[in-house]
Chains A and B, each alone.
Chain A
Amino acid sequence: MTLPAPFPVLVVISVLAGFVGAMSGMGGGVVLIPVLTLLGTNIKTAIAVSMVSVIATSSASASAYVRDRITNLKVGMFLEMFTIVGALVGATITLAAGQRLLFIAFGVVLLASWVALLVQHRYQPTAAEDPDRFTAWLELDGSYVDEAGGTTIAYRAVRAWAGGPLMFGAGLVAGLLGIGAGALKVLIHDLVMRLPAKVSTTTSNLIIGVTALAGSSVFLHDGLVDPGLAAPVVVGVVIGASIGTRVLVRVTNKSVRRFFQVVLFSLGVEMIVRGVAG
């Protein structure tokens, strides 16, 4: 398959996508797919290639968080049961869906993520809740060392009965659009299961890799994964994500949030307009 742009250009685009993805916590796909389609790549091929790159960025960042023992493996394993099934269903829908529908769906999800970012911003954690019997049975409690404060933070997840099925939806969106859907996963962890922000983000990162693998399997089976296009994308996105993660610790939460809100809104509107215009 012919590349939609010269190899170095694709690497630079992917580095930028990985950078923005890492800064926002949503992965490179939200930038990569709109740009690749603008360059003339079929949206289904762009989704398939993005899904493979999500595995790389998620695995790279999850590795550090897991070793630091912030990620909750039990929460991850329980929720992955739902996200992988969702991703398989979502990717199967992508194969059957028309291109215009995918453009519009992508735009709608970006705008929904933009709204989610606003809601998350206004959300103030309330007092700790007692877990229901099902969540207690799942043993979804844990603790981690907060290096900033030097204290050990203990927590207990709640409402796993709702978190699981909702994560099926997040997995479906990920498989459908070739993105990590990190914003949705983090939102479910935060608002429904009441996990601390750090545990929520890092556990979401772990889940994203396995979810992306499930979605990739559908695209691989259908021959949609173009290795020639995936090569510059994977290398670029991994480099961009590494830079983004390092920059993230030096900038304020507010400036990252503001920057990403603009990116999400612009790309969301642009994708919907392209979908409607055909």
Chain B
Amino acid sequence: MRDRRLNPETVIGYVLLTGTVAATVLVAGGVAWGWATTGRLGLEYRLQGQNLLQIARQDLADLIHTPTPQSLTTLGFVVLLATPLTRVAASLVYFAAVGNRKYVGFTGFVFTVLLYSVVIR
């Protein structure tokens, strides 16, 4: 029997699984919505923004005020891109919780570089 109690591996595994499934469902949902409303499969549009933060902010505003198939699909991409970042954040919390300063440093470096390149830049 596998040990499925709450441990870092289980948490990280579920972060990855939930993120991928949610992203795929949202992207497919946006495409299906577009098909249902226009009769055409496939969406033609551009992402509004140059990083995850800009895209997420614009997309959430769209979803709240004028939801479209494109905004749902974009939310899927935002979730997809945020998934590995969340996984690194979860690893950082784990290494901090067990007091492994060496790996807090390594994970912190990875998290900072990703945060800068994906979210801030």
Using a CB–CB distance below 8 Å, which chain A residues touch chain B?
A: 1-3, 6-8, 52, 55-56, 58-60, 62-69, 71, 73-74, 77-78, 80-81, 84-85, 88, 137-139, 145, 209-210, 212-214, 216-218, 220-223, 225-228, 230-232, 234-235, 238
Choose among A66, A137, A218, A223 the residue that contacts B46 (Cβ–Cβ < 8 A). Answer: A223
Chain A residues contacting B109 (CB-CB under 8 Å) are 81
Chain A residues contacting B94 (CB-CB under 8 Å) are 73
| Given known contacts A52-B77, A210-B110, A217-B117, A228 and B45 CB-to-CB distance under 8 angstroms | yes
Q: In the complex, are the beta carbons of A73 and B110 less than 8 A apart? A: no
Q: In the complex, are the beta carbons of B9 and A234 less than 8 A apart? A: no
Chain A residues contacting B110 (CB-CB under 8 Å) are 77, 80-81, 84, 210
Q: In the complex, are the beta carbons of A213 and B19 less than 8 A apart? A: no
Chain A nearest Cβ from B46, distance in angstroms: 7
Q: In the complex, are the beta carbons of B50 and A220 less than 8 A apart? A: yes
The number of A-B residue pairs with CB atoms under 8 Å apart is 168
The residue in chain B whose Cβ has the minimal distance to the Cβ of A73 is: B91
Chain A nearest Cβ from B76, distance in angstroms: 8
Counting CB contacts under 8 A, is B60 at the interface?
no
Q: Give 5 new A-B contacts, CB below 8 A, not counting A66-B12, A73-B12, A235-B28.
A: A88-B113, A217-B118, A218-B117, A227-B70, A234-B27
Q: In the complex, are the beta carbons of A7 and B121 less than 8 A apart? A: no
Q: In the complex, are the beta carbons of B9 and A8 less than 8 A apart? A: no
Chain B nearest Cβ from A98, distance in angstroms: 24
* Bound Cα distance from A8 to B40, whole angstroms: 11
Interface size class of B (residues with CB under 8 A): 35 or more
Q: In the complex, are the beta carbons of A234 and B84 less than 8 A apart? A: no
| Given known contacts A74-B103, A84-B114, A231-B43, A210 and B23 CB-to-CB distance under 8 angstroms | no
Using a CB–CB distance below 8 Å, which chain B residues touch chain A?
A: 2-4, 8-10, 12-17, 19-21, 23-24, 27-28, 30-31, 41-47, 50-52, 55, 70, 73-74, 76-77, 80-81, 83-85, 87-88, 91, 94-95, 102-103, 106-107, 109-110, 113-114, 117-118, 121
Choose among B9, B42, B51, B121 the residue that contacts A73 (Cβ–Cβ < 8 A). Answer: B9
Chain A residues contacting B43 (CB-CB under 8 Å) are 227-228, 231
The residue in chain B whose Cβ has the minimal distance to the Cβ of A230 is: B77
Choose among B4, B13, B45, B81 the residue that contacts A63 (Cβ–Cβ < 8 A). Answer: B13
The residue in chain B whose Cβ has the minimal distance to the Cβ of A88 is: B117
Q: In the complex, are the beta carbons of A59 and B24 less than 8 A apart? A: no
Chain A residues contacting B16 (CB-CB under 8 Å) are 59-60, 62-63, 66, 209
Chain A residues contacting B83 (CB-CB under 8 Å) are 55, 59, 209
Chain A nearest Cβ from B36, distance in angstroms: 14
Chain A residues contacting B114 (CB-CB under 8 Å) are 84, 210, 213-214, 217
The residue in chain A whose Cβ has the minimal distance to the Cβ of B40 is: A7
Q: In the complex, are the beta carbons of A63 and B17 less than 8 A apart? A: yes
When A and B form their complex, which 7 residue pairs have the shortest distance between CB atoms, in order from nearest?
Answer: A67-B13, A63-B16, A63-B17, A7-B41, A7-B42, A217-B117, A66-B13
Chain B nearest Cβ from A110, distance in angstroms: 25
